[in-house]
Chains A and B, each alone.
Chain A
Amino acid sequence: MSLKDLISPFYAWKRALDKPFTINKPVTEREGAARYRGFHVNDIEKCIGCGTCEEICQNEAIDMVEIAGLEPKNGDSGLRPMIDYGRCCWCALCVDVCPTGSLGMSNDYIWVTPNAEEWRFTPGVDEKAWKDDDKGYRRTEEAWLLNPELTEMPVMNPETRKQTFEEMALGFTDEMAVDEASRCLECGICVAACPTHMDIPEYIRAIREGRLEEGLEILYDTNPFPESCGRICTARCQDVCALGHNGEPIAIRFLKRYITDRTVEKKYQILGIGKELPSTGKKVAVIGGGPSGLTAAYYLRNYGHEVTVFEKHNHLGGMLRYGIPEYRLPKAVLDREIQTILDTGVEVKYNIEVGRDISLQELRQQYDAVYISVGAQKGTQMPIEGMDTPGVLVGVDFLDRIAEGERPDLGERVVVVGGGNTAMDVCRSSVRLGAREVFVLYRRTEAEMPANREEIEEAKEEGVQFQFLVTPIKISKEGERLAIECLRMQLGEPDASGRRRPVPIEGSNFTIQADTCIMAIGQKVDSSMAQQVEVKVTRWGTFEVNPDTLETSVPGVFAGGDCERGPEDAISAIADGKKAAYFMHRFLQKKTT
């Protein structure tokens, strides 16, 4: 034994009379390191309540809770994370995964309370001393556990697609689809944003796990137009995707298309199309075979009712056929999707216009319930001089002709008026019809255009030229060409609603020469049939309904889609069709008893 070993026990007594270090140097004076992982902070405005933090927490220390005064809204669940510090191990996985970057950790690590309940609190909501701390741990770009980069959809190059109406988006490969599906957090914020509430996280998970047949079933649970929506949906889900806050949102629309692309051959088998359905003996008439009417027909059929669709054209599809050009939605795809619906046993009467060939009153007498889904297919006109000049066309009528297979000669220079999706379809179709120069005139600025950003960008890629803050005031014929007299506008002062409206600039008149001018400023509803059974309509010509059930003022007559809500996207029309089917089914059940 060495001398040191003998002395060392006594050496330990050296500090026996010293004050403990923690008294000499109180812990409150020892600030945590600048990036210490202390109690959480949360920017409550930035947080969207996606619950990814709750999902990743290995200790189940996080619960998403309701907050008084914080209402759920589009893209925000209204919930916020509550953290149980009896469970938290301060690992910061929740911070590293947070899609918005709202969650962080302060460098505060001391807090004493005799009340165990207080050990669970909601950062950013409950008042804590460190609530506004800047110091502490925040996630960095390198530490972010999510992949912000989108898997790009392969598309035809702009020069090629200018020459053809062939579909421009080529579809995901298996690898691309799995890569993209792997980015999904399964937070479900998208489900609430989708008008028909498709179970997006579940079908994306099905892609990831290679269960595409189940994926297709999930799609059809809420939407019998997944092939079309996989191409042309306005994808409100993507607008609110949690990943979109700091990166690119998941390509939900194209993942949907991927499932349908890969299951198309086994679709009937997977969905059991053609199998005998239960029969209730009730008969339903659907007026208008567009997305809303056919969706209602599909679900009503599945409830066991007999369904007859009355269609005024000789083809079904409504605005999906007559409003959307083939380069976005090929007719063959639409046709097979519609056929699937019809093969559940839906009857169709083509070339019959209700209100002209048969009255709504007669349908009411012959059927147990009626669903009106006639769309909004009349183009709105600008009541300016020269609208009847040859060469001036209405956008929706023009698209209708293209859908019927016509390829009109528009000349070299085309002017399109309007800033919505119809205007984009019109200008891009004009490019494909061979117009050398296509101009879009819009009264407001680009920021106010109601058209999808993607469509605007693609139109620009195809050479369409945009003139903002310009409006036509008169159209006349000058020789062989049209002379479109225009005025330049400027945004006025904000009005009472805070909106800056376009106001003409005096003396800014100028003239654009064109071979064709196509007005695409909006659509309206033809509701003249409503008078036949005194169904109430609004001043805009749309059908007035109970918003909870879509039933009109006449019992048993329901209405939905564009003819009820005004011109909107396909997915809203589909959502209405599904909702109407549910409430019509309830109505018919009551009628039985």
Chain B
Amino acid sequence: MSEQKRSLKFDSIDSVLSFAISKEEEAYHFYMTWSEKSRDAAIKEVLVEFAREELRHKELILEVKAGKPFEAKPQQVYDLKIGDYFVPVKPSEEMSYQDALQVAIQREIGARELYEYLASISAEGKIKKLFESLAKEEAKHKMRLEQIYDDEIYREN
């Protein structure tokens, strides 16, 4: 278990949502930073797209914080598990589209696992449910990225 996971404590819905918002912000900055660093104009755009996606996630959580119920759209989420067997990959200035997708998929896996863990240590109730919803949301993001990976990178696989 990571240090980060051990040190997390939540006593209200608001604190959970604030935490989730900070995670999305952190992801946004991560992609924007690497977008600036990337040497390839097309990959810069890809990373900006990923960053914008994180902003959309943040807005969704902000809406929940403002009182909107956290209702996931009825969409089947399935796990292609493509990223589950990746060797860890680090972002670099020379990363290709394949590398960028790998980085993003791994980050979504990390985020989902974190929320799943937090749900598992939360007592039954609203907070646990919220963590479960957040984990499902991250699983959805992972699914979308893995579908792209499946179509584009694993075309002959």
By a beta-carbon cutoff of 8 Å, the part of chain A in contact with chain B is 380, 382-385, 387, 417-420, 422-423, 442-443, 450, 471, 473-474, 492-493, 495, 501-504, 520-522, 524, 531, 536-541
* B133-157 vs A, Cβ < 8 Å mask (1 yes, 0 no): 0000000000000010010111111
Partner of A504, one of B81, B97, B153, B154: B81
User: Quick one: given A524-B96, A537-B41, are A503 and B154 in contact (CB under 8 Å)?
Assistant: no
Question: Looking across the interface, which residue of chain B has its beta carbon closest to that of A384?
Answer: B85
CB distance from A469 to the nearest CB of B (A): 12
For B40, list chain A residues within 8 Å (CB). 531, 537
Residue pair B76, A493 in contact (C-beta under 8 Å)? yes
Known A383-B86, A384-B87; contact A492-B156, beta-carbon cutoff 8 A:
no
Most buried by B among A419, A474, A501, A531: A501
Q: Are A423 and B156 in contact (CB under 8 A)?
A: yes
CA distance A320 to B85 in the complex (A): 34
Which residues of B are found within 8 Å of A531, using beta-carbon distances? 39-40
Q: Are B85's CB and A522's CB within 8 A?
A: no
Confirm or deny: B80 has a beta carbon within 8 angstroms of a beta carbon on chain A. yes
Taking CB atoms, residues of chain A closer than 8 Å to B43 are: 539
Residues of B within 8 A of A382 (CB): 157
Closest to B94 in A: A528
Which bracket fits the contact residues of B? 20 to 34
- Determine if B93 is an interface residue (Cβ-Cβ < 8 Å): no
Given contacts A521-B154, A522-B154, A539-B46, contact A503 B80 (CB under 8 A): yes
Do B157 and A419 have beta carbons less than 8 Å apart? yes
**B79 at interface, CB cutoff 8 A:** yes
A231→B60 CA distance, assembly (Å): 57
Task: Determine whether the beta carbon of A522 is less than 8 Å from that of B41.
Answer: no
Q: Decide if B13 is an interface residue (CB 8 Å cutoff).
A: no
Contact between B87 and A385, CB atoms less than 8 A apart: yes
Verify if B42 is at the interface (C-beta below 8 Å from A): yes
- A384, A417, A503, A539: the one within 8 Å of B86 (CB): A384
Knowing A383-B89, A524-B96, A537-B41 touch, does A443 contact B154 (C-beta < 8 A)? yes
**Minimum C-beta distance from A523 to chain B (A):** 9
Q: Are A537 and B80 in contact (CB under 8 A)?
A: no
- Pick the residue among B39, B42, B80 that contacts A538 (CB under 8 A): B42
B98 at the interface (CB under 8 A from A): yes
Given contacts A382-B157, A531-B40, A537-B42, 20 further A-B contacts (CB under 8 A): A380-B98, A380-B153, A384-B87, A419-B156, A442-B157, A443-B154, A474-B85, A495-B76, A495-B78, A503-B81, A522-B153, A522-B154, A522-B155, A522-B156, A531-B39, A536-B42, A539-B45, A540-B97, A541-B42, A541-B96
Q: B residues within 8 Å of A by Cβ?
A: 39-43, 45-46, 76, 78-81, 85-87, 89, 96-98, 102, 147, 150, 152-157
Residue of A whose beta carbon sits closest to that of B86:
A383
Chain A residue numbers with a CB within 8 Å of B42 are 536-539, 541
Q: Smallest CB–CB gap between A508 and chain B, Å? A: 12
A418 to chain B, nearest CB (A): 5
Which residue on chain B has the smallest CB distance to residue A522? B156
Residues from chain B with a CB closer than 8 A to the CB of A450 are 155-156
Can you offer 21 A-B residue contacts whose CB atoms are under 8 A? A383-B87, A383-B89, A384-B86, A387-B87, A418-B156, A419-B156, A450-B155, A450-B156, A471-B157, A493-B78, A495-B78, A501-B78, A503-B79, A503-B80, A521-B154, A521-B156, A522-B156, A524-B98, A531-B39, A536-B42, A539-B43
Nearest 4 A/B pairs, CB to CB = A420-B156, A521-B157, A473-B85, A539-B97
Contact residues in A for B45 (Cβ distance below 8 Å):
539
Contacts of A536 in B (CB 8 A): 41-42
Write the chain A residue with the least CB distance to B100.
A539
A385-B85, A502-B80, A503-B78 known; A541 and B97 CB under 8 Å? yes
In the complex, A170 Cα to B41 Cα: how many Å? 50
Q: How far is B46's CA from A380's CA once the two chains are assembled, in angstroms?
A: 19
Interface centre among A495, A501, A539 (most CB of B within 10 A): A539
- Closest chain A CB from B96 CB (angstroms): 7
Given A383-B87, A385-B85, A504-B81: A540 touches B152 (CB 8 Å cut-off): yes
A residues less than 8 Å from B76 (CB atoms): 493, 495
Interface centre among B152, B154, B157 (most CB of A within 10 A): B157
Give A493 to B79 CA distance when docked, in angstroms.
11
Question: Which residue of the partner chain B has the closest CB to A420?
Answer: B156
Do A443 and B157 have beta carbons less than 8 Å apart? yes
Q: Which residues of A contact B79 (CB under 8 A)?
A: 503
Report chain B residues within 8 Å CB of A474. Answer: 85
Residues of chain A contacted by B41 (CB below 8 angstroms): 536-537
Residue of B nearest to A380 (CB): B153
Chain A residues closer than 8 Å to B87, beta-carbon distance = 383-385, 387
A-side contacts of B98, CB under 8 Å:
380, 383, 524
Q: With a CB–CB cut-off of 8 A, which chain B residues contact A492?
A: 78, 80
**Chain B residues within 8 Å of A520, by CB:** 156
- Provide the residues of chain B in CB contact with A503, threshold 8 Å: 78-81
Residues of A within 8 A of B156 (CB): 418-420, 422-423, 450, 520-522
B81 touches A417 (CB 8 A): no
- Tell me the bound Cα distance from A553 to B145 in angstroms: 29
Q: How far is the CA of A492 from the CA of B45 in the complex (A)?
A: 32
CA distance A571 to B7 in the complex (A): 60
- Report A-chain residues with C-beta under 8 Å of the C-beta of B157: 382, 417-419, 442-443, 471, 521-522
Taken together as a complex, chains A and B put the C-alpha atoms of A422 and B155 apart, in Å, by 12
A307 nearest CB across to chain B (Å)? 30
Residue of A383, A503, A520, A540 with most partner-chain B CB within 10 A: A383
Which residue of B is nearest A419, CB measured? B156
In chain B, what residue has the closest Cβ to A382? B157
Nearest CB of chain A from residue B72's CB, rounded to whole Å:
15
Contact of B147 among A443, A471, A501 (CB under 8 A): A501
CB contacts (< 8 Å) of A504 on chain B: these are: 80-81
Question: Quick one: which of B80, B86, B153 contacts A501, CB cutoff 8 A?
Answer: B80
